[in-house]
Structures are given as C-alpha cells and as structure tokens.
Amino acid sequence: MIKPVLIVTLLLGFMLTTAYGQDFEATKQAAEKGDPAAQVQLGTMYNSGEKDYGVPKNNAEAAKWYKLAAEKGYAQGQNDLGNMYREGEGVAKDHAEAAKWYKLAADQNHAGSLNHLGWYYYTGEGVAKNDAEAVRLYRLAVVQGHAHSQFNLAIMYENGAGVPQDSIMAFVWYSLAIAHNGAAESRDKIKATLSPEQLVKAEQIAARCLESKYKDCN
C-alpha cells in the first residue's frame, strides 16, 4: 500500500514534469553546461513564463541566463540582455548599458540590435544623438529584410533626419515595411503628398528593391 505522503510526492512530481515539459529540462541541462543558445532559450522561457512555456515568469532569472550567453559573445544573448536593460526587466533600467550590449551584437550584424541601436542614436538615449549613425545602422538591418528597421528608415526619410528629406524614399521604405504595425497608414499618408509621376517612380523603386533582395533600392 502506497503511503499518502508518497502519493502526494508522486503527484507533485508528475505535475511539475507536465508543467515544465521535457524541453525545459533539456534546455536547462544544456544551459548549465554552458551552451549559449540554450542559455538564451532558457532566458526566454523565464522571460515569457507560464503562458508560453509553463515556467514561472522570472525576469531576474531570464536576465541572468541572457548575460551568461552575452558574455560569451553570443549575439542573440547580447541583444536580449540589451532588451532587459532597455525595459528595466530583471535589472535596473539603464539605456547606456542597453546600448553597450546592442552595440556588441550589432557589430556581429544582428538585425534587431542594429535597429535598437539605431533608434538610440536617433533619440539620443544611452548614446549621443547622431541621426547619420542611426541611418547607417538601419541600412545594415534593412537589407536583412528587418521590417522594423525599414519602418524606421522611412521615418528618417520622411523627416529628413540623417538623410535629405525625400518623400519618395519614405514611401518606398514604408511600402517594404508593410508587415510592421502602422506602416500601411504611414505609407498612405505619404502617398497623398506625391504626384502621379512621383508615385510611379516610388512604386518602381520599391518593386526593384524587393526583387533584388534589397541590393538595388535607389
């Protein structure tokens, strides 16, 4: 006859295994052995929590694992750690520290970090404001098909920040960033300011840019 205490223990073990799943345990074991990809995934599990992974949400634990991967030079870990510092999740909010980690990942051509760092240069948070540097970083990300960077590059052209103001190129990049929330509205707003000839030119540039996989976008 199984004692009540043992029954409770077995049930608890089953519940924990079901909640965490084999993926969590395998990921945790790999992370503890020093695999940076597993460390990032484990951090993501803790950062997302119950809804996505059945793991208790723990931002401090997420930041810890991201940092372990980041310190190994793993670009995704550096990007994700930068996100934690930017948002103040699991660590004290620190834009300069976020920019530091974004730069390390951006130096490895990580599209997300190129975009985040570009935004910091545009806003002047965490780094000295430099619109031209923001544009340079966005350009490195847009050729990777990064919609958020395409949207941000369109903003630069619309406002004449870091580049001469150019409504045609703003339309082009808003069109290419159509998957990004708000891009369609911004594109249509610019479209209303273009002449029929300008619109034809803009649409031709956008089509050529897409067909060339972002190699011919002028």
Domains of the chain are 25-108 (1.25.40.10), 129-218 (no CATH)
How many whole angstroms separate alpha carbon 67 and alpha carbon 97?
A: 12
- In this structure, of 45-59, 120-134, 171-185, the range with the lowest mean pLDDT score is 45-59
CA atoms within 13 A on the CB side of 178: 7
pTM of the model: 0.86
Write b or e for each residue in 115-126: b if 16 or more Cβ atoms lie within 10 A of its Cβ, otherwise e: bbbbbbbbeeeb
How is residue 193 annotated by DSSP? T
Residue 107 has pLDDT above 90, yes or no: yes
Whole-number Å distance between alpha carbons of 76 and 115:
13
- Angle subtended at Cα 107 by Cα 105 and Cα 122, rounded to the nearest 5 degrees: 85
> What mean pLDDT is predicted for residues 171-178?
96
CA 190 to the chain's CA centroid: 26
Over its C-alpha atoms, the chain yields an Rg (Å, rounded) of 22
Confidence of residue 23 (pLDDT cuts 50, 70, 90): confident
pLDDT at 156: 98
Q: Please tell me the least confidently modeled range out of 48-57, 93-102, 125-134.
A: 48-57
- Interatomic CA distance for residues 177 and 154, integer angstroms: 9
**Longest CA pairwise span in the chain (Å):** 87
In the predicted structure, residue 34 carries a pLDDT above the cut 50: yes
Average pLDDT estimate for 57-64: 96
